[in-house]
Amino acid sequence: MIGIFDSGMGGLTVLKAIREEMPSIDVLYFGDTKNAPYGSKSREELSRLTIQAIQILRARSARSIVSACNSVSASMTVSLMDTFSLSSEGTPEYLLEMVGPTVSYFKESTARLLLCATTATIKSQMYQNAFEMIGKHVDTLAIPELAGAIEAGAPDADIERVIRTSLEEIEMKNYDIVILACTHYPLVANVFERILGKSILVFDPAVAVAERVKKQLWPREMADGKTIFLLSQDSEPFRMYVELLFPKSKYSIEVLQ
Ligand code: DGL
């Protein structure tokens, strides 16, 4: 069984892409809805929550873990754990995260890139440095309120206002692709597309992450295709998105006490 975690419903976009690649993988998904949103938290808080999330998943026998949260990558805990195997029993066999697969995807690209993400992600300079390492430049834009608004199930009109307000600062004709580097944002990709029009491509990194997961974990994780969702606090919008994205799947939702 693989474990996936995020602050809340954002990781569902990654789960969906993984499911499309590997329908018969068993998944334990932890949404830390009680502590969402993560994107405005400090690196220290994010490190603490990351370790906690990994422990929850490991305690329920998830062998390999996918951090479906860019803000968690920004805390660097995930990459440090991966590199140094920080705690022997707590360390998963495989630990995959968002930044590496996303940046690698653009290795051969000559497109002009704008990356939108949470404040924590942009402030960490993680993406900026990673793109520089492959000899590319990326411009960035933090959209501070957006993940929280999506997580709260805000109506489309509010989501559109939040996105428009942030994009107002940007000269959009300078870009070919907008990378949605917060896993919540693809849930409202249609709003981005409406605002940006046809000349700009809206890119969801979940595809690249799912490919990487398949490369590392298939076929060793072949199983029955069941999904268990664990939430740190019940959330109606979370339940709604699960129904919307996985209408035909067998799943259960458990709220941790
Ligand atoms: N979905 C997460 C990310 O990719 C977290 C967003 C948030 O909770 O602020 O950054």
Closest CA to 248 of 2, 3, 20: 20
Specify the CATH number of the domain 100-204: 3.40.50.1860
CA gap 95, 213 in Å, rounded: 10
| Helix ranges restricted to H, 60-117 | 70-75, 77-84, 99-105
User: Using omega within 30 degrees of 0 as the cis cutoff, is the peptide bond preceding 101 cis?
Assistant: no
Q: Which atom of ligand 1 is nearest to the CA of 41?
A: 9
213-248 tens-digit pLDDT: 999 999 988 899 999 999 999 999 999 999 999 998
**What spacing in Å lies between the alpha carbon of 5 and ligand 1's midpoint?**
10
- Spell out the residues 6+ positions from residue 106 whose beta carbon is closer than 8 angstroms to its own: 113, 131, 134, 136
Domains 2-98+207-255 and 100-204 equal at CATH topology level: yes
Q: What are the sequence ranges of the domains in the chain?
A: 2-98+207-255, 100-204
Per-residue pLDDT of the chain (257 residues; tens, 9 = 90+): 999 999 999 999 999 999 999 999 999 999 999 999 999 999 889 989 998 999 999 999 998 999 999 999 888 776 666 655 545 556 678 889 999 999 999 999 999 999 999 999 999 999 999 999 999 999 999 999 999 999 999 999 999 999 999 999 899 999 999 999 999 999 999 999 999 999 999 999 999 999 999 999 999 888 999 999 999 999 999 999 999 999 988 899 999 98
Q: Is 13 in the pocket of ligand 1 (CB under 6 A)?
A: no
Is 69 catalytic? The answer is yes
* Single-letter code of the amino acid located at 174: N
2-98+207-255: which CATH architecture? Answer: 3-Layer(aba) Sandwich (3.40)
Give the strands of the sheet with 64-67, arranged side by side: 94-96, 64-67, 2-6, 27-31, 227-231, 251-255
**What spacing in Å lies between the alpha carbon of 119 and ligand 1's midpoint?**
10
CA gap 253, 235 in Å, rounded: 10
Characterise 77 by phi-psi region: left (phi > 0), alpha (psi -120 to 50), beta (else).
alpha
